[in-house]
A and B are shown apart, each in its own frame.
Chain A
């Protein structure tokens, strides 16, 4: 993985000291809260419902074991002994004190980490496919480009006060594990007809109150032109994006208002002027960064490991975990292992400091010291020998990190909701906990099959409800928490925006409603291989509507 050189290390140290000075000036009254706010936000520091929240960047989701141990240390020393992984591959601490934050940033800098631009109206931490460097069908390792974008976007002098936040994601296979087209810019690494590798720009996607699937604005940008095309895109947005209405300020609104073609034409015009400028990326820099992402020293192993096959057969629980929580690896004899941060009845994405330490140890023992954060709020050990999986599973099980539910109904994305967030209308975490308890039987989970359930506590959609196969949105009805259900969304390569099922459900009814949706699906599917989303797309929303509101009525009259 990437390591800081003297320039990066000096930079992050200087940034930490700058923030220390800003905190001093704030406490001395030299900076007003209004002036301080964007400064702290650009260092990842929010003011939440009960306390400050610090969001630490994990660029393109990659961590080493040393960094993981530091995150555990910070959780223990400055927080309440846990952290929360987010959908943007970052980690959040919910209880730091303002005057501790400069010290926390210094601890992070010691392990080559920071909290820069994890918030604020600037280019946010770049995210990427968590199977980067692992997937066999990858065109090229997206982490290399993630690091180039990280450096280019860090304290960009022109683009630090954009109309609104700006999120960039990267993938390099036809399978989209990074919700590419829900981003302000989704970059897909592709090969053109001439065999050259470059980038397809999907610009102007987003969620929030106006979900839009990012349109393809430019099908191929050469590698050397990546930064100039990004600069041109951001310049058009910075000058023309709306600043009069926060809800219309994202680039998606500008792209829709102009139309993707006209937007693309304006970017092109700007880009042609600057593409041969200082922004042209020299091959030497790409090569320097690429060297950091060279493969680890894999062993030459047989693809088929008889003992592993026997273990799966003899221990059904292990077999289920392997099926749900491992992905194929490009190297024979290895697998990528997802560590579920969705154990039954827990807050999705939460992990204790002790568990972080265990994950760090396991990464050292089994995965070349590498850990990844995934956009579905789980962790990944990218390179585990198949022969080690059984031991690894037992060790994970001992610390409650072996829930076999990846990609299944209880692998829920949820925002922090009203338990933490001052924007929320309703709680998200308790709803996730109730649903995961309702669907806690691993056999039932496996029988239901692939299902993406996402929960947001408000229309800002941090919990990605629009693109869940099943989406749940918390709404406020005269002071009571209600939950609107959408069906048929997807954030993957088959991206779609979910459709509203009907009137919202009360906190007490929402779990039953979800169960009825699932039972309806099981009854309607052609066979066990037809996923929920495929059945939904085949039959439409009506049969679900009938069953769910019908059974709600029945329950109501039975209760009376």
Chain B
């Protein structure tokens, strides 16, 4: 499986581990919230990185005190029409100040991809049947943005008033 970062396919360095499976030695693992909560102390002692996977009804506030120990938070889009994780990503970035990797999985489609990046999601796991090139195309569809989020894209408002940070040539 590949993951996409800024539209570019990357090898997936993370292993998703079922709740009853043994943790592969030395690998970066993603565990469920339930497993994280049950085995927090052991998982924190691990030498390799740990990420947690949240279902769409699990708010990141449930791991707000654990974020220093989590290198990745994976957010589920069970259906592409379920937009809760857009807000979860913003809560992670803006409210909780999370700087680790935010990953989206589930029904993550190209037509929502730009929104995900704008909300602070770094990587996505695209469904196997989808053309991965489409995701890079989706990022080129817009050059104008109205809402300030904490991504690097300048808003129309800031550009209008000369508030945009100058881009080094």
Contacts and interface: CB of A to CB of B under 8 A. Distances in A.
Given A7-B159, A157-B147, A161-B112, A18 B142 contact: yes
A38 interface: yes
B65 to A, nearest CB: 17
A277 B94 contact: yes
B59 A11 contact: no
Contacts of B157: 151, 282, 285
A160 B142 contact: no
B115 interface: yes
Interface string A457-491: 00000000000000000000000000000000000
Interface residues of B, number: 39
B81 A155 contact: no
Interface string A5-37: 101101100110110011000000010000100
A518 B95 CA distance: 58
Nearest to A13: B144
B156 A158 contact: no
A238 B156 contact: no
Contacts of A15: 142
Contacts of B36: none
A17 B149 CA distance: 24
Interface in A267-293: 273-274, 277-279, 282, 284-285, 288
Given A159-B83, A239-B88, A30 B148 contact: no
A154 B146 contact: yes
A238 B84 contact: yes
B86 interface: yes
A239 B87 contact: yes
A161 B160 contact: no
A514 interface: no
A395 interface: no
Contact of A157 (B109, B119, B143): B119
A279 B148 contact: yes
A545 interface: no
B131 interface: yes
Contacts of A10: 143-144
A158 B119 CA distance: 6
Given A14-B141, A17-B141, A159 B86 contact: yes
Interface in A145-195: 151-152, 154-162
Nearest to A17: B141
Tell me which of B114, B119, B144 has the highest count of chain A C-beta atoms within 10 A of its own C-beta: B144
Nearest to B149: A157
Give the dominant DSSP class at A's interface: helix
Tell me which of B86, B90, B95 has the highest count of chain A C-beta atoms within 10 A of its own C-beta: B86
A427 B142 CA distance: 42
Contacts of B142: 11, 14-15, 18, 155
A5 B160 contact: yes
Given A7-B156, A8-B156, A35-B109, A152 B146 contact: yes
B131 A30 contact: yes
A239 B59 contact: yes
A14 B144 contact: yes
B124 to A, nearest CB: 14
A74 B17 CA distance: 56
B31 to A, nearest CB: 23
A121 interface: yes
A443 interface: no
A157 B59 contact: no
Contact of A274 (B81, B94, B115): B94
B111 interface: yes
A157 B89 CA distance: 11
B59 A282 contact: no
A17 B140 CA distance: 11
B14 interface: no
Given A7-B144, A151-B146, A39 B87 contact: no
A76 interface: no
A18 B143 CA distance: 12
A5 B156 CA distance: 10
Contact of A284 (B80, B91, B161): B161
A465 to B, nearest CB: 29
B103 interface: no
Given A30-B131, A285-B160, A285-B161, A155 B146 contact: yes
Contacts of B91: 235, 239
Contacts of B83: 121, 158-162, 238
Contacts of B111: 22, 35, 39
Contacts of A285: 157, 160-161
Interface in A126-158: 151-152, 154-158
A537 interface: no
B156 A278 contact: no
A340 B87 CA distance: 44
B82 interface: yes
A61 to B, nearest CB: 21
A161 B94 contact: no
Given A35-B80, A239-B87, A156 B147 contact: yes
Contacts of B161: 282, 284-285, 288
Tell me which of B90, B109, B119 has the highest count of chain A C-beta atoms within 10 A of its own C-beta: B90
Nearest to A7: B156
A243 interface: yes
A18 B118 CA distance: 17
Contacts of A39: 111
Interface in B147-166: 147-150, 156-157, 159-161, 163
Given A155-B115, A159-B86, 16 more contacts: A11-B142, A11-B144, A14-B141, A14-B142, A18-B141, A21-B141, A156-B147, A157-B115, A158-B90, A161-B80, A161-B82, A235-B91, A243-B82, A285-B157, A285-B160, A288-B161
7 contacts: A11-B142, A15-B142, A160-B83, A160-B112, A161-B80, A238-B87, A239-B88
Please give me the 7 A-B residue pairs with the lowest Cβ-Cβ distance, nearest first.
Answer: A161-B83, A157-B118, A278-B148, A7-B156, A11-B144, A157-B115, A158-B86
Interface of A: 5, 7-8, 10-11, 14-15, 17-18, 21-22, 30, 35, 38-39, 121, 151-152, 154-162, 235, 238-239, 243, 273-274, 277-279, 282, 284-285, 288
